Amino acid sequence: MFFTTPTDGTTLAYEDYGDGPVIVFVAGAMLNTDMWEYQIPFFVERGYRCIALDRRGHGRSDRPRGGYDIDTTADDLAALLEHLDLTEVTLVGHSTGGAEIARYLARHGESRVARVAFVAAILPFLKLTDDNPVGVPEAMLEEMLRRIRADRPKWLSRQSQLYFAEQFGNEVSPEMSDLTYRQCLSTSPWAILKIQEAVFHCDNREALRGITVPALIVHGDADFSAPIDITGRRTAELMPYADYREYPAAGHGLYVTHAERLNADLLEFLKA
């Protein structure tokens, strides 16, 4: 299914399954709705309506020249909720999807949202600044972008080797690693560059402090893509009333390696 954004006329794809209380899944950067194949059937079979969005430049959505900043992608999420007139929604965001959810709440409020779940989310703020001394130096972003520009498939292949934290005993088939790699490879090369740049500079500290709906934070302590000391643990500090759950030996791809535990934790959160 498709709809057109009111901001710049970009056509975005989404999938919609089941009936019942609504969960909207927001994928990580470079991934698309297919990443949620171990979550969507689980929740549909338990009486939930599951909707997943392909970010611009990703999956079956348009590949426009612009709009890859987090403000615009958060507005795209708002456009989906408005297009379907959704209320009492649970938003579940992975990686960059978590940053977009936080920005959505800051820009559009909580009137349509019942609760939020941040899964391996790139929050609150990656960039090293005077008031963010635990952040990442901008030189590391520039080096990453250089590697992407020089040989994007090679860079993605290296990332996929670390994505599931297999060195910590997580069993993932070669086929699963290849599937994730091919999903990322199918994303617009321009979108990859611009989204990586945007999420690095995105400061969601105040946005997190302003969230009043119930929140769940899930993060793996072996996350290479979003190191837990910079992301998950700091997000929990900014949201002291959130339910924070740390998965030992879990990497960025915990929605696969720890799908059973993640689904159980999400279901408990939804029913609480």
Peptide bond into 124 cis (omega under 30): yes
Q: How far apart are CA 213 and CA 226, in angstroms?
A: 24
CA 11 → CA 24, 60, 207, 243, distances in Å? Answer: 18, 9, 27, 35
Residues 243/216, Cβ–Cβ less than 8 Å: yes
CA dihedral 173, 175, 179, 181 (to 10 degrees): 80
Is 225 known to be catalytic? Answer: no
Residue of 54, 62, 203, 223 marked active site: 223
- Of 251, 252, 80, nearest to 168 (Cα)? 251
Residue of 94, 252, 258, 265 marked active site: 252
Q: How far apart are CA 1 and CA 81, in angstroms?
A: 14
Is 95 known to be catalytic? Answer: yes
Task: Classify residue 221 by burial, with Cβ atoms within 10 Å: 0-12, 13-18, 19+.
Answer: middle
Q: How far apart are CA 61 and CA 244, in angstroms?
A: 33
Helical spans, DSSP H, in 109-210: 138-150, 152-163, 174-185, 189-201, 205-209
Is 223 known to be catalytic? Answer: yes
Greatest pairwise CA separation for the chain in angstroms: 48
Residue of 61, 95, 160, 177 marked active site: 95
- Of 192, 191, 148, 157, nearest to 177 (Cα)? 157
Helices 70-83 and 96-108 sit at what angle, rounded to 10 degrees?
70
**Quick one: DSSP state of residue 136?**
B
| Active-site amino acid positions | 95, 223, 252
